[in-house]
Structure 1
Amino acid sequence: MSSSNLQALTVLLERAEAERDEALRFLQDAERRAQAARLQHDQLSQYRSDYQSRWKQEFAQRTTIQILGCYQNFGGRLDQAIGQQAGVADFADQRLDAARRVLQERELRVASVRKLIERRRAEALRTEMRQEQRATDEQAARAAARGGNPLNRLVA
């Protein structure tokens, strides 16, 4: 394999590795965002549960229609916020899944380019070995044609 071909494949490998590294950073960012979105959803849900528990205790005592209306209004807005946050968390999970797929594709690309370089190097080595063997065979054939085995002259 010529050095220019090897250099081109090396550049291709470096680019593929850079793209893979970028995909890894994107995946890590997506993981942080998804985790933060789920945590916020969980916190809102826990707050709603605590809020309901506090107000149930309050309702056991005396309450007014106005306070009940405020409770229901706030509870409704809280449920709406929880639903929106669930949507945000779902979207973050979808982005996380997409980031995983992209990273897998980029890792496969890096592995493919590495394998191609390995094959090309092995092919170049085999070609070089064949050329060396051919040269050795030609040299031995010329020596035999000139008068026999050159080793016989050294021994004698």
Structure 2
Amino acid sequence: MNPLQPLLALLAQTERERDAAWGHAQQAAQAQQTAAAQAEQLLTYRREYEQRWGTQFKSEGRMELVLCYRGFIDRLTQAVDQQQRVAQHATGQMERAREVLRDHEIRVASVRKLIERRSHELRLSADRAEQKQTDEFGARTAWNHHGLIGSGAARAA
């Protein structure tokens, strides 16, 4: 078994979690943009409505029409306020989703760094083992060579 296999499995899991957090952050950003756009549309509509009826009331202003206008503006103002609260909440959700995504990115980077370190340690260990084998082979070769020379000298004497 590959000694890095557990870390590679952990990396795959953290990347999946990061990808899910990224999707959630994208959804939160889209929800925030939609809520902010709706709030802006309501504000624009209210401004236009006030301008249009403001000029109308300058020329004529029956009381029942003014009361109707006032009631509608009040309801429109409540809708604007509510939508602005929704937009603020969506902004908070988006910021929290981005923080979660950032945490997942850090975790993925940490696991990758750990894999890099372990790979380096394994390479060093393999290099040391290879060097040890080379040294032992060299020592045996020298010993055998020395032994052959020594036994040849003994025969010559």
TM over 0.5: yes
Question: Aligned partners of 1:136, 1:32: CA distance in 2, in Å?
Answer: 62
Give the aligned residue type for 1:54.
R
Partner Cα distance (1:127, 1:145) in 2? 27
Written as runs of structure 1 = structure 2, the 5 A alignment for 1:100-139 is 100-139=98-137
Count of equivalent residues: 146
Whether 2:134 is the aligned partner of 1:146: answer no
Matched-pair identity in %? 42
2:20 maps to which of 19, 22, 25:
22
2:67 is the counterpart of 1:46: no
Whether 2:55 is the aligned partner of 1:57: answer yes
Residue number in structure 2 paired with 1:153? none
Note the C-alpha offset of 1:60: 1.0
Structure 1 residue ranges, 4+ long, deviating more than 2 angstroms after superposition = none
Separation (CA, whole Å) in 2 of partners of 1:102 and 1:24: 9
CA-to-partner distance for each residue in 1:64-93, whole Å, 9 max, x for gaps?
Answer: 111111111110111111000000000000
TM-score, normalising length from structure 1?
0.91
Equivalent-residue separation in structure 2 for 1:62 and 1:138 (angstroms): 110
**Deviation, structure 1 residue 142:** 1.3
Deviation at 1:37, TM superposition (A): 0.2
SS at match of 2:145: coil
TM-fit CA distance, 1:147: 2.2
Render the CA deviation track for 1:20-51: whole Å, top value 9, x for unaligned.
00001001101110000000000000000000
State the AA in 2 paired with 1:108.
I
Q: Please, what TM-score do these two structures have when normalized by structure 2? A: 0.90
Unpaired segments of 5 or more residues in structure 1? 149-156
How far apart are the structure 1 equivalents of 2:35 and 2:110? 36
SS in 2 for 1:63: coil
Matched residue SS, 1:146: helix
Alignment root-mean-square deviation, CA:
0.9
For the pair shown, which has the larger CA radius of gyration, 1 or 2?
2
